[in-house]
Amino acid sequence: MATRAAELLPWLRLTLTPGIGGETQRKLLRAFGPPEAIFSAGRSSLAAVAGERAASLLLDENDAERIESALAWSTEPSQHLVSLADPEYPQSLLQTADPPTLLYVLGRLELLNSPALAIVGSRNPTPQGLGNAERFAAALADAGLTIASGLALGIDAGAHRGALARSGNTVAFIGTGIDRVYPARNRELAREIGRRGTIISEFALGTPPAAANFPRRNRLIAGFSRGTLVVEATVDSGSLITARIAAELGREVFAIPGSIHSPQSRGCHRLIKQGAKLVETVADVLDELRWSTTGGNSATTAEAAADAPPDTATDAGRLLQSFGFDPFSLDELIARAGLSAECAAVVLLELELQGQIASMPGGRYQRLSAPSSIGRS
């Protein structure tokens, strides 16, 4: 333990020196080698590589309290500090332009180098979009892929939950210190990911949420993964940043289309116009990745669990059959199904309690996609 702390101490000193960013850290590492050699170099040598100001910061600043806190944190079970020099460091991130010098990792180290797919999207998804995120994540996890996302509300959380419902192989990249949970509503989800999956941060302990942190987190999601699947996104969504970075890295970009009337689908439609792979089934993703599933159940598990077609002989069946892919008002559904208002209201409530439909703002209803919609075609 003492040996590991001695190894980590110069890495922490380098990354916790105020004013020394990732680019400068990598420049110094390339010039001098391991961080202990950086701090052994003279002021003039450091200044020649990184400038006078950086040399002064490195030699004169030493936040012992934060260093000791990080070392203490790393001694707890399942809590790790992983540097660029460690064999556990994600090799996929080493292929990017700005890999973090040090990662704070909570959970399973083996997931850091597992084959991964990112699933990202809107913080305010439609019920259908959220269902798609969970079911795609579950089926892709069954196929042997680790699901990466950003622990945000909405699609991100749905993707993590879908993976946890199956293999548990999910990695959450966060934009705060790893000792914080943001948003607070995902506290229980974060606890479960830390227990069964992995949470990763490049930010020092105690770092609060800040707007600038989340694009940095997004670059890690894209860089870590073989491809990025955008489930739902508006045209100004941060998910499109993740998709753009993935494309720039030469990784695959996938998007699920939606209603032309839904703002939550327009970001996906823009990606498809720009060359993203249009996704209707899990097979679309697996085939593009040239991925051979690791188990017999794989992507067909969700298909095997498909709901039977609605029985149109019943009021509930007639009402379900009346739904299209867009939300409908009660009046529209009554007209389509030929039911009385009283009967339709009762049946809608029953279907909502069964999880087959969801109520939307403005008194509209949407049918949730059947699991079979994501199976192999």
Q: Which CATH class is domain 109-298?
A: alpha beta
Q: Is the dihedral of CA 371, 374, 375, 377 positive or negative?
A: positive
pLDDT per position as a tens digit, 204-251? 999 999 999 999 999 999 999 999 999 999 999 999 999 999 999 999
356 or 376, which is more confident: 356
Q: In the prediction, which pLDDT does 357 show?
A: 82
Query: Is the Cβ–Cβ distance between 81 and 11 less than 8 Å?
Result: yes
363 or 68, which is more confident: 68
Q: In the prediction, which pLDDT does 312 show?
A: 45
Strand partners, 199: 106, 172
Q: In the prediction, which pLDDT does 304 show?
A: 37
Domain spans, the chain = 2-66, 109-298, 315-374
Fold of 2-66: DNA polymerase; domain 1 (1.10.150)
Cα–Cα distance list, 166 to 56, 124, 138, 160, 342 (Å): 51, 24, 6, 10, 40
Strand partners, 329: 364
Q: In the prediction, which pLDDT does 120 show?
A: 98
344 or 59, which is more confident: 59
Q: How many CB atoms are located within 10 Å of the residue 230 CB?
A: 28
Query: How far is Cα 28 from Cα 123, in angstroms, rounded to an integer?
Result: 39
Q: Mean pLDDT over residues 285-297, rounded?
A: 75
pLDDT per position as a tens digit, 139-191? 999 999 999 999 999 999 999 999 999 999 999 999 999 999 999 999 999 99
Percent of the chain residues past pLDDT 90, beyond the cut: 72
Does the structure show a pLDDT above 90 at 369?
Answer: no
- Closest-CA residue to 110 (of 136, 71, 146): 146
Please report, as a single letter, which amino acid is at residue 299. Answer: A
pLDDT per position as a tens digit, 181-201? 999 999 999 999 999 999 999
Query: How far is Cα 28 from Cα 131, in angstroms, rounded to an integer?
Result: 47
Query: How far is Cα 41 from Cα 33, in angstroms, rounded to an integer?
Result: 11
Pick the range with the lowest mean pLDDT from 148-162, 260-274, 357-371. Answer: 357-371
CA 193 to chain centre: 12
| Level-2 CATH architecture, domain 315-374 | Orthogonal Bundle (1.10)
- Closest-CA residue to 105 (of 214, 202, 25, 216): 202
Phi and psi based region of residue 23 (left: phi greater than 0; alpha: psi -120 to 50; beta: remaining): alpha
pLDDT per position as a tens digit, 81-120? 999 999 999 999 999 999 999 999 999 999 999 999 999 9
